């Protein structure tokens, strides 16, 4: 971006401050949101999976309950009409035709795995069409998934500000940047080494760490820009020669060649090649009798304030238990206050640096039998993540809010709400199903979202169900146990439907 473009972008961003009151309070003032849920990162995913992730942000259609809100939603491929009708049908007190008239769906017609923002920028005529759908640029803003120079250029070409962290802050969201920030702000984080590259660098780091922590049993290699645990690999350090022994280094190198990679289908050799090319960090894998993976989501506003939006306990799986599968809301009260306190320190630092928008901190929380929880920050995500969609679904549908001091969500009338949400449920048998079959299951089982009780199930990522056998769901209820029961009941009903039982 040229100096002239940078100045123009800064001028655009200054408009957000004037818009913020209307955005934050969901006022009835004229507003327009341009949603471009581009996964602007190095990913190689099938077209239907990419489309499903782009559609994960369809919860933003719930903004159409505001009578003067217009939503322009861009995707790589068209969204199925029944999916659009499903989301609009979840809105209470809204005339569907009135909402639909204020919704403009734009598809690029390009299913490749390249970033959606790039696809749009490559098509000036389509970009002009999107720009023409914005009635007043002074009351509009761009909502991306993550933010790179592509999204900044897109904001410039559209003539609207971007609600998200500027690309210049991207280094804070890397594994190296996160560790540096945690250290500078005094936030507990695992023993490790930053700025490591290649197998030789990893072996050196592990030997140094073993001198500090001789009883360390496992360590993690993390690619600097890995997401959802997919850039991680696990190294077994048990039963190695003592630190400093002549045989230690060759033994550590052998363990590195046998590391367990989290990304399915990637070999240890391929991972180490990526670690040599990209670099990353080496960290102790924190262990305890009980292990949890909570997170805190915050936002830095154009007014300079930092707000805690939610806490979650993340559900993890995969070969080494590091892949994001879903979340429980809110996080366990046993450590929610502590991780929120640490997250606030980081959030206030980011706000002072000029960061804007939503971001999240991931932690690990462990305890031994009878002991207290110990919490460690492990990652900073300067983007919307897997917990954004279910939380905003709850917030928009109930018009409630997360109360930081209580660590709980209050809907209207002070009623607490809890949920269990999947990033995606996956089963080859689901490939028999279409989105309409899932809606049919929800209606027959009586689990469809009810505005009257403010409980029920909301589906998402429906584009991948038929081809890939995967979809997402969020089960909202009055208690953690009821949310889990509702989630399990819904999945069991979908299983029966898929298996013809």
Instruction: Please state, in angstroms and rounded to a whole number, the distance separating the CA atoms of residues 471 and 459.
Output: 7
Task: Check pLDDT > 70 for residue 228.
Answer: no
CATH of 166-185+287-408 given 1.10.3720.10, 3.40.140.80, 3.30.470.20, 3.40.50.970: 3.30.470.20
Question: With bands split at pLDDT 50, 70 and 90, how would you rate the model's confidence at 162?
Answer: very high
pLDDT score of 322? 66
Average pLDDT, the chain: 93
Q: Name all contacts of 317-323 with Cβ < 8 Å and 24+ positions apart.
A: 318/229, 318/262, 318/264, 319/260, 319/261, 319/262, 319/264, 320/232, 320/233, 320/234, 320/260, 320/262, 322/220, 322/229, 322/232, 322/234, 322/262, 323/228, 323/229, 323/230, 323/262
Q: How far is CA 66 from the centre of its chain?
A: 25
For the residues of 364-407, what is the DSSP string, one character each? EEEE-TT---EEEEEEEE-S--TTHHHHHHHHHHH--EEETTTT
Question: With bands split at pLDDT 50, 70 and 90, how would you rate the model's confidence at 455?
Answer: very high
For the residues of 274-319, what is the DSSP string, one character each? HHHHH-EEEEE----SEEE-EEEEEEE-TTS-EEEEEEEEEEEETT
Q: How do residues 354-375 score in pLDDT, each as one tens digit?
A: 999 999 999 999 999 889 999 9
Task: Check pLDDT > 90 for residue 441.
Answer: yes
Q: How do residues 256-278 score in pLDDT, each as one tens digit?
A: 999 999 887 889 999 999 999 99
Give the chain's end-to-end CA distance (angstroms, integer). Answer: 58
pLDDT score of 229? 53
Cβ atoms of 327 and 310 closer than 8 Å: no
For the residues of 43-95, what is the DSSP string, one character each? ----HHHHHHHHHGGGGGGGGGGSTTEEEEEEESSPPPHHHHHHHHHT-TT--
Instruction: Please state, in angstroms and rounded to a whole number, the distance separating the CA atoms of residues 104 and 96.
Output: 14
Residue in the structure block whose two tokens are 């462990």: 366
Per the DSSP assignment, residues forming a β-bridge with 421 are: 327, 474
Cβ atoms of 331 and 294 closer than 8 Å: yes
Identify the CA nearest to 82 among candidates 468, 323, 340, 434.
434
Cβ neighbour number for residue 139 with a 10 Å cutoff: 19
Task: Check pLDDT > 80 for residue 490.
Answer: yes
What residues contact 370, with CB distance under 8 A and at least 6 apart? none
Cβ neighbour number for residue 86 with a 10 Å cutoff: 23
Q: Token pair of 373, please?
A: 């929880």
Average pLDDT over residues 146-161: 95
Identify the CA nearest to 491 among candidates 419, 417, 418, 430.
430
Fold of 3-163: Rossmann fold (3.40.50)
pLDDT score of 43? 64
Instruction: Please state, in angstroms and rounded to a whole number, the distance separating the CA atoms of residues 175 and 184.
Output: 14
Q: How do residues 390-406 score in pLDDT, each as one tens digit?
A: 999 999 999 999 998 88
The CA–CA distances, whole Å, from 244 to 205, 240, 332, 337, 412 equal 13, 11, 41, 41, 61
Burial of 443 (0-12, 13-18, 19+ CB in 10 A): exposed
Q: What are the residue boundaries of the structural domains of the chain, listed by start?
A: 3-163, 166-185+287-408, 191-284, 417-501
Instruction: Please state, in angstroms and rounded to a whole number, the distance separating the CA atoms of residues 173 and 380.
Output: 5
What residues contact 56, with CB distance under 8 A and at least 6 apart? 37, 389, 460, 461, 472
Rg (CA), the chain: 23
Average pLDDT over residues 70-81: 97
How many alpha carbons lie under 13 Å from residue 487 in its C-beta half-sphere?
25
Q: How do residues 94-104 score in pLDDT, each as one tens digit?
A: 998 999 999 99
Cβ atoms of 17 and 163 closer than 8 Å: no
Per the DSSP assignment, residues forming a β-bridge with 302 are: none
SS3 label, residue 412:
helix
Query: Does the domain made of 417-501 have the CATH classification 3.30.70?
Result: yes
Cβ neighbour number for residue 481 with a 10 Å cutoff: 10
Average pLDDT over residues 380-395: 89
């Amino acid at each position: 971006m040229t100096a002239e473009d940078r100045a123009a972008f800064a001028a655009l961003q200054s408009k957000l401050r004037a818009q913020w009151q209307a955005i934050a309070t969901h006022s009835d003032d004229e507003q327009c949101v341009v949603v471009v849920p581009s996964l602007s990162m190095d990913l190689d995913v099938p077209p239907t999976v990419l489309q499903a992730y782009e559609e994960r942000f369809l919860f933003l259609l719930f903004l159409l309950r505001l009578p003067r809100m217009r939503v322009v939603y861009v995707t790589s491929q068209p969204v199925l009409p029944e999916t659009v009708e499903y989301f609009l049908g979840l809105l209470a007190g809204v005339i569907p035709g009135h909402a639909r008239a204020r919704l403009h769906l734009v598809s690029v017609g390009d299913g490749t795995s390249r970033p959606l923002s790039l696809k749009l920028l490559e098509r000036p005529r389509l970009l002009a069409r999107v720009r023409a759908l914005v009635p007043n640029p002074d009351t509009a803003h761009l909502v991306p998934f993550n933010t790179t120079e592509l999204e900044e250029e897109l904001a410039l070409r559209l003539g609207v500000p971007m609600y998200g962290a500027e690309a210049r802050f991207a280094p804070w969201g890397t594994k190296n940047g996160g560790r540096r920030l945690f250290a500078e702000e005094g936030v507990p984080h695992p023993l490790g080494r930053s700025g490591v590259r290649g197998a030789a660098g990893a072996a050196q780091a592990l030997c140094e760490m073993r001198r500090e922590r001789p009883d360390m049993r496992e360590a993690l290699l993390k690619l600097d820009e890995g997401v959802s645990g997919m850039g991680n690999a696990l190294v077994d350090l048990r039963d190695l020669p003592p630190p400093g022994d002549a045989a230690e280094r060759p033994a550590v190198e052998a363990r590195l060649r046998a590391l367990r990679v989290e990304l399915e289908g990637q070999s240890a050799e391929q991972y180490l090649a990526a670690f040599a090319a990209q670099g990353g960090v080496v960290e102790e894998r924190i262990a305890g009798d009980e292990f949890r993976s909570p997170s805190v989501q915050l936002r830095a506003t154009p007014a300079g304030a930092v707000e805690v939006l939610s806490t979650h306990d993340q559900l993890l799986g995969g070969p080494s238990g590091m892949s994001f599968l879903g979340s429980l809301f809110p996080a366990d009260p046993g450590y929610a206050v502590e991780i929120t306190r640490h997250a606030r320190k980081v959030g206030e630092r980011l706000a002072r640096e000029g960061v804007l928008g939503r971001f999240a901190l991931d932690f690990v929380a462990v305890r031994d039998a009878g002991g207290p929880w110990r919490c460690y920050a492990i990652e900073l995500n300067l983007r919307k993540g897997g917990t954004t969609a279910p939380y905003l679904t709850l917030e928009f549908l109930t018009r409630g809010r997360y109360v930081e001091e209580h660590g709980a969500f209050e809907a209207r009338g002070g009623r607490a709400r809890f949920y269990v949400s999947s990033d995606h449920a996956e089963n080859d048998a689901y490939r028999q199903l279409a989105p309409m079959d899932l809606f049919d299951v929800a209606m027959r089982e009586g689990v469809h979202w009810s505005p009257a009780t403010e409980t029920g199930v909301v589906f998402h990522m429906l584009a991948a169900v038929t081809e890939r056998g995967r979809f997402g769901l969020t089960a909202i209820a009055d208690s953690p146990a009821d949310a889990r029961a509702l989630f399990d009941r819904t999945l069991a009903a979908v299983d029966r439907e898929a298996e013809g039982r």
